[in-house]
A = this chain, B = another copy of it.
Amino acid sequence: MTADLKPQPAASGAAEVRLWLRLLACTNEIEGELRRRLRQSFDVTLPRFDFMAQLDRAPEGLTMGQISRSMMVTNGNVTGIAERLAAEGLIERRTSPDDKRTVRVTLTEAGRRAFAGIAAVHHDWVADLFDGLGDDERDQLANLLARLKTSVTKHTEDRPA
């Protein structure tokens, strides 16, 4: 490859890197803004909000493993977040009677109420931040991201179980 023609002299992957940096910058900017607003308005962190969001969609509760998988973070990570949410009385942890290794986590009534209040405002914030994009553009972006995800997974899914 790259015989005596040198189609792309010193630019192997340069366009992709620029695109990647733009994607990263965009995501970080939105994430940072949401994090700041969550902290200022509700004194809650993004990970804790995310943790509660998983539980809110599962009234019967979730195990720690299910939560870490749906949040796409490591097991050890969610332990600390759960610890703090439990200390605030927003979640409850109960070891399952049929498998004493697993922990069933549920939102407390206070947790459910707190989450509902935050989620409503959070939706509005996200809608605001994205309001410069038309419906068609949002669809396009969603489709391109889906294609990108597929492309990435192709190179990723073969990791040690």
Contact = CB atoms under 8 A, between A and B. Distances in A.
B27 A152 contact: no
Interface in A4-44: 12-20, 22-31, 33
The interface residues of chain A, by DSSP majority, are classed as helix
A23 B145 contact: yes
Interface residues of A, number: 51
22 contacts: A12-B123, A13-B124, A14-B123, A16-B127, A17-B123, A19-B130, A19-B141, A19-B142, A22-B146, A23-B26, A23-B30, A24-B31, A25-B72, A26-B149, A28-B72, A29-B72, A129-B155, A131-B151, A132-B147, A132-B151, A137-B144, A144-B144
